[in-house]
Amino acid sequence: MKVCREGEDLELPLLYQALKAEYDLTETHYMFGGDSFSFLSVLDSYALLDRISPEEFIKDEQMPYWAEIWPSAITLSSFLADELMLQGLRVIEIGAGVGMVSVVAASKGAHVLATDYSLEALRFARYNSLKNRVNLVCERLDWRLVQCAEQFDLLLAADVLYERVNLLPIVTAIDKLLKPGGTAYLADPRRRLAGQFLELAAENHFSITSFPRKYSGGSRDVAVNIYKMTRQ
């Protein structure tokens, strides 16, 4: 759902200047479902490693994965644009990063809550929603301790299955955040941990359907699976 508000048009350049002062930026363009999108992200996410203090890493073991646009996010965005009807659905994305998947979902008429643990990520997600003129609410969420009381028709996640310690918390978060009859779609570049995640999901009474896809936009093709999860 494209929107245009005078106040947001004023916010956009101010937010860009604030981000530009803190990061080396890159802007990339994509076509999803016949529509053009533009996304701002960090040029070199590895440069952000120096910003993480040893104390912060010990506390959360957070790496700046949010700063890049990963093949799984691009693949899931294409899947949403081409294959799902989202008009009027209440949608949450966990691990939203710079917000690509959330922006595409919102452009399809969904009412979207984009969440990430990183407050830095949410600033980029906010910018990208303004840039692409869609309604998007951005909030911090820790999937290890979900405090959001609302439940959603649809949950989306791209490339979140990268740490074994997060697998069960993600299953638990999905169970808490989905309405009865709700559906989750997770995109993953066929990591080994995905198999363990699917086993945990099945043990927690989810049925899984896999949609194999291939991302061909980079220097090499990346095989991506999109997992549809529904309660048994």
User: 105-130: per-residue pLDDT in tens?
Assistant: 999 999 999 999 999 999 999 999 99
* Residue ranges with strand state E in 23-96: 25-32, 35-42, 90-93
Is the pLDDT score of 5 beyond 70?
no
Asked if residue 38 is part of any domain, the answer here is: yes
**Which tokens sit at 138?**
């951005």
DSSP-derived pairing of the beta strands 178-188 and 222-231: antiparallel
Beta strand extents in the chain (DSSP E only): 25-32, 35-42, 90-93, 111-116, 137-140, 152-158, 178-188, 206-215, 222-231
For residue 62 the two structure tokens come to 């957070």
Residue 138's pLDDT is: 97
Please say whether the beta carbons of 79 and 187 come within 8 A: yes
Does residue 103 lie in a domain region?
yes
- The rounded distance, in Å, linking the Cα atoms of 83 and 88 is 16
Q: Can you give the pLDDT at residue 47?
A: 62
Residue keyed to tokens 């693949």:
75
How far is the CA of 74 from the CAs of 18, 70, 107, 159, in angstroms? Answer: 26, 7, 15, 10
Q: Is residue 1 part of a domain?
A: no
Coil vs helix vs strand at 49? helix
140 is a domain residue: yes
Q: HEC profile for 172-184? A: HHHHHHEEEEEEE
* Tens of pLDDT, residues 133-178: 999 999 999 999 999 999 999 999 999 998 999 999 999 999 999 9
Query: Is the pTM for the entire model greater than 0.85?
Result: yes
Q: 99 Cβ partners below 8 Å, 6+ apart?
A: 39, 93, 114, 121, 124, 125, 126, 128, 129, 136, 138
Write out the residue range of the structural domain in which residue 163 sits. Answer: 6-231
**224 vs 217, more confident:** 224
Lowest-confidence region among 13-22, 38-47, 81-90:
38-47
The 10 Å Cβ neighbour count of residue 49 is: 11
C-alpha separations of 80 from 85, 105, 125 in Å: 8, 7, 18
Residue that has been written with the tokens 């604030």 in this structure: 18
Q: Please give the Cα distance from 7 to 226 (Å, whole number).
A: 37
Domains in the chain, number: 1
**Residue 207 covered by a domain:** yes
Contact 67, 41 (CB under 8 A): yes
Tokens 């919102």 map to which residue?
106
Domain of 176, CATH number, reads 3.40.50.150
- pLDDT for residue 11 is more than 60: yes
